[in-house]
Structure 1
Amino acid sequence: MSFRIDPRLALTAEVRRIAGGEIDKIVAHLNAARDNPERSLHSARKRIKALRALLRLVRPGDDAFCRAENDRYRNIALSIAGARQATALIETIDRLIADFPEHADAAGLAGIRAMLARHRSEGVHGEAGLGAVLDHAVAECRAGMAAINMLVLPDHAEEAADVLADGALATLRFARKALQQARERGEPNDFHDLRKAVKTHAAHLSLLRKLWPAPVKPRRERAEELGESLGELHDVFVMRALIEARQAPFGGPEPKQLVRLLRRAEKALRKLCLADAAKLFEDKPRRAARKLARKAREDLNDGMAESEAD
């Protein structure tokens, strides 16, 4: 099933179709995680983000429903986050080894990587175990599937266009605000908010690729690249916070050489992310939303006319 809204079809049916397909994928990844947790949980979290982006896009059509379902999938994502964080720590070390090969030995990065791999293999889901976490997550997805089939959105072309434009506008405004906060304060949470907004916007561009004013593809590619850079920065923030708090798996003396490399990586990523985000969101949100609403009305009206003709 394609992750895009077809303007020839009713909005309610399209959202149910896309959401249903994403839920099926999430369940498949969760079940696969019983044998291959690292890869499958990462894939499940990616599909959850896509589903939550869809819910944010159509939230103006049914705010209460979309908020409740967004909370459902946010909680599922949090329940399986531990294993993903353990893998992200290892990936951060791998990037440091690649970016600073001349300092890798002095910082003992190979030994730190081995320690992180042992930490991951020991498990991060507590006494209940991963199986119980996955069982609960799958059950919640099944409940979510039943709920999504009850969703009703405005299907008239004018109203549907306004729902999509307003949903996209909310994310663009959130992105601009997060960018301003990241520039002025630069706290990890500010960059985390920016990352969430960029990831959601990238998903919206995929969902609206037939409705968003051209050119869509290069903008989506830039958003996806920025999302990856912000993800790397987030992983650096997480590792530094664990080290500073002496929190597992960093319970011993502070690895000073590692901290120095993390600071260098953080500085470069901050600069890159702020510059790329400024370019991506240089257009005013309201202006972009007006363009989207205008094109969406035209395309949705054309789609309804084609359906009636058939």
Structure 2
Amino acid sequence: MGYKLRPHDPASEVRKVVRQGIDNAIEALGAPVAERAEGIHQARKRFKELRALLRLVREPLGREFKRENQRLRDLGRALAESRDAAAMLECWDLLAERFPKPFAEEGLRKTRRRLRDRARRSETETSGIDERIVDATAELQSLCNRIETWTLDENGFELFAAGVKRTYADGCAELAKARLDLSDEQLHQWRKRVKDHWYQTRLLAPSWPTLMRLRGDTLKRLADMLGDDHDLAMMLQLMQRTPDLFGEPDQLARLEVMIAERRSELQSSALKTGGELYVDAPDALVARWRRYWSDAQR
């Protein structure tokens, strides 16, 4: 996300960034059929970024936050299935990078070809996708028209302070839960809060570019670790539903061992990185970011 909130007239900055996100999402949804899967993927990224921005101004938005957040959430869900098969192929290739020798064998190469064909079919066989793209574009245009009615009355960093605190505190809470419960669902919940904090860090980067960029880069690595782990969890579910897609039983057993090993690596690294990022109390992080913003204004 190249959008930034600069330390002047923050309410206008928020509206400007929302419009940019909407325009980019609409452009992505208009991709040619051959590029549709990637276009939808990019549009759904814009939806998540916009939701993170909404969480940044959740308190001043009041009731509008819930309505707008739900609309963007529903848009992403309506377009999700067209991306699943492509994501599985990407997940397979990342696993192959970690275990190049076994993945060079003919049996696993055949499995990749089946996953590739499945991804290609999904690009053309997704039922009703044209209608859903039209509906999503119309909803985004409607959102653009509603922006001027939003209540964003707080001045300076106070427009964002409560949103920064809540998002960061939620990430701390989800990390604490993940340390006790490494279930797929719990790690997924933590990942969502990490991505919100990452998007918000990038949005506020102009307040102190070097430090905020470093934090954003580390948050991105953490989100990628958790995302790769989640994709592997989805692959295991797909293996259980359609084992023939992945080959003979002995090959499935070998895959399960490699997936378990890779997930253990990812989860250990994520918990370590998360402990380094979520070390401050929420009030302390907000106070530091407020100082950054004030210094940037001066």
**Same-fold status (TM-score > 0.5):** yes
Point out the more displaced range, 221-230 or 19-28: 221-230
Q: Which residue of 1 aligns with 2:133?
A: 134
Task: Give me the whole-angstrom Cα distance separating, in 1, the residues matched to 2:64 and 2:142.
Answer: 13
Classify 1:272/1:250 alpha carbon distance in 2 versus 1 (closer, same or farther; 3 Å).
same
Classify 1:16/1:248 alpha carbon distance in 2 versus 1 (closer, same or farther; 3 Å).
farther
Classify 1:56/1:228 alpha carbon distance in 2 versus 1 (closer, same or farther; 3 Å).
same
TM-score (norm 2): 0.91
Task: Give me the whole-angstrom Cα distance separating, in 1, the residues matched to 2:21 and 2:104.
Answer: 43
TM superposition shift of 1:248? 8.8
Task: Give me the whole-angstrom Cα distance separating, in 2, the residues matched to 1:127 and 1:113.
Answer: 21
Partner amino acid, structure 2, of 1:257: R
Classify 1:13/1:2 alpha carbon distance in 2 versus 1 (closer, same or farther; 3 Å).
farther
TM superposition shift of 1:186? 0.6
Partner amino acid, structure 2, of 1:284: A
Classify 1:101/1:285 alpha carbon distance in 2 versus 1 (closer, same or farther; 3 Å).
same
**Secondary structure of 1:215's partner?**
helix
Q: Are the counterparts in 1 of residues 57 and 160 from structure 2 also a CA contact under 8 Å? A: yes
- The CA RMSD over aligned residues, in Å, is 2.4
Q: Are the counterparts in 1 of residues 229 and 263 from structure 2 also a CA contact under 8 Å? A: yes
Q: Which residue of 2 aligns with 1:238?
A: 234
Task: Give me the whole-angstrom Cα distance separating, in 2, the residues matched to 1:30 and 1:69.
Answer: 19
Partner amino acid, structure 2, of 1:198: V
Classify 1:70/1:103 alpha carbon distance in 2 versus 1 (closer, same or farther; 3 Å).
same
Q: Which residue of 2 aligns with 1:197?
A: 193
Classify 1:124/1:61 alpha carbon distance in 2 versus 1 (closer, same or farther; 3 Å).
same
Q: Are the counterparts in 1 of residues 111 and 246 from structure 2 also a CA contact under 8 Å? A: no
Task: Give me the whole-angstrom Cα distance separating, in 2, the residues matched to 1:280 and 1:99.
Answer: 26
Judging by fraction of residues, say which structure has more helix. Answer: 2
Q: Deviations over 1:140-167 (max 9, x none)?
A: 111111122321201433xxx2231110
Q: Which residue of 2 aligns with 1:306?
A: none
Unpaired runs of at least 5, structure 2: none
Task: Give me the whole-angstrom Cα distance separating, in 1, the residues matched to 2:108 and 2:36.
Answer: 24
Q: Deviations over 1:60-104 (max 9, x none)?
A: 111311221111111111112112221110011111221112222
Q: Which residue of 2 aligns with 1:307?
A: none
Q: Which residue of 2 aligns with 1:28?
A: 27
Q: Are the counterparts in 1 of residues 225 and 267 from structure 2 also a CA contact under 8 Å? A: no
Number of matched residues?
296
Task: Give me the whole-angstrom Cα distance separating, in 1, the residues matched to 2:56 and 2:208.
Answer: 13
Identical aligned pairs, as a percentage? 27
User: Of 284, 290, 295, which residue of structure 2 is paired with 1:293?
Assistant: 290
Q: Which residue of 2 aligns with 1:275?
A: 272
Unpaired runs of at least 5, structure 1: 303-310
Q: Which residue of 1 aligns with 2:202?
A: 206
Partner amino acid, structure 2, of 1:181: K
Partner amino acid, structure 1, of 2:5: I
